[in-house]
Structure 1
């Protein structure tokens, strides 16, 4: 089953975006003369910037300086959406704003003692996104280039290693970011480490982290496949199906993998299998990936886990068999095993399907999964947990499974879908409250980020649903409140801006009743946290979802569908959308 290898990667979240200017990031390694030679141990210069600069100093004499930040940078379509370390911590970045080309920010390390015969390896993570991206390089005082990278690297954290040569005197590292153009040139760094006595190995992510830009990384086609996964860039070979661009870069230059149905047999299977994995964190490992499923579906994608050993049994960790629309979708899976295991992505496809399943940006993070930006509750509870002081639990339930549970969910609009549900039928007091909450979310910029959810309160006129935001210092703000007697017996959508630039925050849903004798229940589904503020209610370009619109659940005979490119029928329908006027974007 392969040679065991340890996964120990901490790469951050990403989302699609485009940057139109170039950025140059320069690392200077300068020797300091007249400094007493120290022993061969390097002090702890490792820094994740979650608390402070760890003894590093930002040069304040330039036009700009490095800024410590959590969450997305202020300007859309540039900079990361979260840090690299945990996805909820801090990093350093340079704000392009109105700065002209050439403006520089410099970060200065403490003095590094003289280095022995093997020198030292500086490792760091960097974020460079842009269609006209410049060059990132490391060089020594003699201007010898030690490491280089150029071109668009996508909206993703990447690792680099730079070797410091042996020295008889102390040295320092100067990290300088140079702006390439106004507004869209934010750059970021995180998790800087200095390893004394090590010659750098080739820069690489964790062995199973894969953006498919070069190959399949540490993933392998199953030898028993009926059909194989195909690595591709740009649109797939079949018009009107599959993604128009990859998830990493968001354009036709980036690569992903996909499975295309064939006209042989009723069903065919494609499996992509990892090497063996051993968790390196006591809290397990979180696997993040992005998938694309859109079209007329007779296909299923499943993630399996196999514990290395004599048994051939595979456990289903996640599964999807419904179209999710023309967009990339995020999934987080928590693996808590202490033994070696393998992960398999399997697609079962029918020749009658008119859609393709695509996969991109597999990343492993140490520890538990954070609350995802998108949650449908179809496979798990998305790390929503009982809140402090909760008197009863919200539970993950299937639609139409009894009591006051809604007959259908939002995601599938069927009785097979799932949701979070607060059962009010067994309460013994009006003072009881059921609370469920997210983990901590990144702080926002001054404009905030849009928070959208769907809720169902049935016919009960006594149910009450309240939504709160709570900061890390415990400040609570009510975002919204609704009672069950003020609207129709159906699913409703609500959205509001989360605004908290000063710290991280969490969101809670709190269910209660004004008359426990009448029972009832409250459900929530399809919770989304966007990177940008909410549009005016009712406005929608259909690029990522239906926004606050929905198909009529009762009286319609057909449904409106989000599509990309021309409609299937000949000589009818639109060829491109209105928003961008291209076939690569969505219309309804």
Structure 2
């Protein structure tokens, strides 16, 4: 009915424990002599939604689910169909599984079962003929009129259910039912197949059209020897590639789409699986459809932390980058866009991790307004490392934090300009990560009330070691000194060189053993510290800090003039998480991939940063423990 006056059945998640199950059993359905089509509508909405399973019970044997769906699917009713192939009388059993919290109600309505396959492979036309199917789940043995190509390829596609015959490749379930009872089409890469062998599957012939159409299908490409899946549009004897994917994409089903322009001739769609280097190269497809209109522009995804119940104050969510191997490009710039909006927003931290987590190298706390903002962090680590981004939950549910468009590039964060950053009042040194080969001076600007420290280091990244250190405006901005780790102060000047709120220019030079510090940006001017060491020393790097009681803002000019190099990594989250993974041991909850609004009022973004659009809402939400490609909802 679509009104509040209509009835449905549901499971109430509030009073029961996680994992508890509720089963609804149909009356006995007699065998009709052929396959029967089960149709029902389901509603699965809420952050704690777990699983809805459907079973075909015969002779009191429940068996395994023939259809399954898990996690929130959005605040909408969705239609599902299942082909029931029982050869005896049976019952339909619906099973709802309670999730981790109260926001996990699951509902059912309009349950029906009729003779025949749910998808007949073609549709009736007004003239009484049959039009070729534009939707196919491959449950019908006729595979909706698809056929094998008999010339030009070396092997065929196979209709299958459950696992493929080879370990470490292929799907475990189909996409339609998400069980081992559903069918899909795949290419078997085992012997006698060879590298480069092709298998082509061609659709029925479609009529001409005056408007764009959208081809959509789900694909599965898992295994270390995966080759290539190509999709072609065939018009007469001419074929044109409209989509392609190569290599291992992980053990998941992913959606793909390609627009088909208006056609003034009959056309077909061709799926081509190309065998890779070994037997672990099975490629599968499922849930094919051609829909009216061009495919929507992809985009609109970001990752965020959901701070609603059952999250508690102080809960942390950490996500870790793939391993970074610096090689010869040890200086890198990490950039990302962040969104921190809401009355209860707490903190966003960034760390590096070699063996263990570093101290935070970047922190932002509290609401920053309803806008995406850019963060830039200069990195300079010579050993392998990862980047860890951590969000902390504040005192309430209006504390969603999001990030998008993460890049890691070689070189300086400010090409052609100064390296800009802040230092807290904790007297912790921060490496500047400059390449000082052949360089004897650096100019910079500093805004601090007192206690600016700049170290001359023997290597690029060794703040625990130093040749000498200049302290500018130390001791409450009453004196400046040059000192070393062995002899303490070697020269002292009484001066008041810093000014709260003012960005003051300085330079430091170290030609041989001669250390000088001056005011201004031109080396040699305004000298107020001067020390000659009879023993020459090598300066390989710089580190800076501000002492206790003084926050600092620095702009350090790059004397080498080397700007940012091409990106070494880039993640927009439009195709999953690009290898970023959840912490599974040291935090309390996870980052979530989402398009559109976070669903909580007064917090979080309403669009992503990449496109400024939302690809949907709650129905597009996916937890990230193993996701690698954008996973879209289906009905």
Category of TM-score, reference length = shorter chain = 0.3 to 0.5
Q: Which has the larger radius of gyration?
A: 2
TM-score (norm 1): 0.42
